[in-house]
Chain A
Amino acid sequence: MKRDAKNLTNAAALAVFWLAGLTTVVVLGAVIGYVLVNGVGEIGLEFIFTNPHGVNAEGGIWPTIVATLYVTGLAMLIVTPVAVLAAVYLAEYAVQGRLVRTIRFAADTLASVPSIVMGLFGLALFVESMGFGFSVISGALALSFLMLPIVMRTTEEAIRAVPKYIRWGSYGLGASKWQTVSRVVLPAAASRIITGIILSAGRAVGETAVVIFTMGTMINLPVLPTDPGRSMTVHLYQLAMEGINMPAAFGTALLLMAMVLAFNLSARWLLRRNRRMQG
Chain B
Amino acid sequence: MTPAEETATPRELKLMSRSTYVKEAALKNLFLLCATMAVAGVVLIFLFVGWRGWPVFSEVGLARFLGGAEWLPTAGAFGILPLLVGSLVVTLGALALGAPLAIGAAVFLSEIAPPRVRSFVRPAVELLAGVPSVVYGFFGLLVIRPLVADVTGGLGFGPLTAWLILAIMIVPTIATLTEDALGSVPEGIREASYAMGATTWQTIWRVLLPAAKIGIIDAVILGMGRAIGETMAVLMVVGNAPVFFRGIGKPISTLTSQIVMDMPYASGVHRTALFGLAIILFLISMGLVALVRALSRFREETR
Point out residues on A near B: beta carbons under 8 Å: 6-7, 9-10, 13-14, 16-25, 27-28, 30-31, 34-35, 81-83, 85-86, 88-90, 93-94, 102-103, 105-110, 112-118, 120-121, 124-125, 129, 145, 148-149, 152, 166, 169-170, 173-180, 183-184, 187-188, 202-203, 205-209, 212-213, 233, 236-237, 240-241, 249, 253, 256-257, 260-261, 263-264, 268
Contact = CB atoms under 8 A, between A and B. Distances in A.
Contacts of A90: 35
A22 B125 CA distance: 10
Contacts of A16: 104
Q: Chain B contact residues (Cβ within 8 angstroms of A): what range?
A: 35 or more
Contacts of B51: 124
A260 B293 CA distance: 31
B143 A34 contact: yes
Interface in B128-145: 128, 130-139, 141-143
A240 B105 CA distance: 31
B31 A85 contact: yes
Closest 10 CB pairs of A and B: A114-B229, A20-B104, A206-B132, A21-B108, A89-B31, A13-B201, A10-B199, A86-B35, A85-B34, A86-B34
A102 B229 contact: no
Contact of B41 (A110, A208, A237, A261): A110
Contacts of B199: 6-7, 9-10
B175 A103 contact: no
A263 B108 CA distance: 27
A175 B7 contact: yes
Interface in B115-153: 117, 120-121, 123-128, 130-139, 141-143
A240 B45 contact: no
Interface stretch (B16-24, B55-63, B183-191): B16-24
A24 B7 contact: no
Interface in B264-288: 274-275, 278-279, 281-282, 285-286, 288
B281 A114 contact: yes
Interface string B247-277: 0000000001001100100000000001100
14 contacts: A13-B204, A82-B34, A85-B30, A85-B34, A106-B41, A114-B285, A115-B229, A125-B48, A148-B41, A176-B20, A203-B130, A206-B135, A257-B132, A257-B135
Given A31-B131, A249-B138, A117 B105 contact: no
A183 B121 CA distance: 38
Contact of A28 (B6, B27, B124): B124
A170 B49 contact: no
Contacts of A23: 101, 105
Contacts of A88: 31
Contacts of B48: 121, 124-125, 129
B215 interface: no
A121 B132 contact: no
A175 B97 CA distance: 55
B66 to A, nearest CB: 17
B130 A25 contact: no
Given A13-B205, A236-B138, A240-B138, A117 B20 contact: no
A260 B263 CA distance: 28
Contacts of A179: 7, 12
Given A10-B200, A108-B293, A183-B6, A213 B263 contact: yes
A34 B205 CA distance: 36
A247 to B, nearest CB: 13
Nearest to A268: B123
A55 B105 CA distance: 46
A99 to B, nearest CB: 8
B109 A21 contact: yes
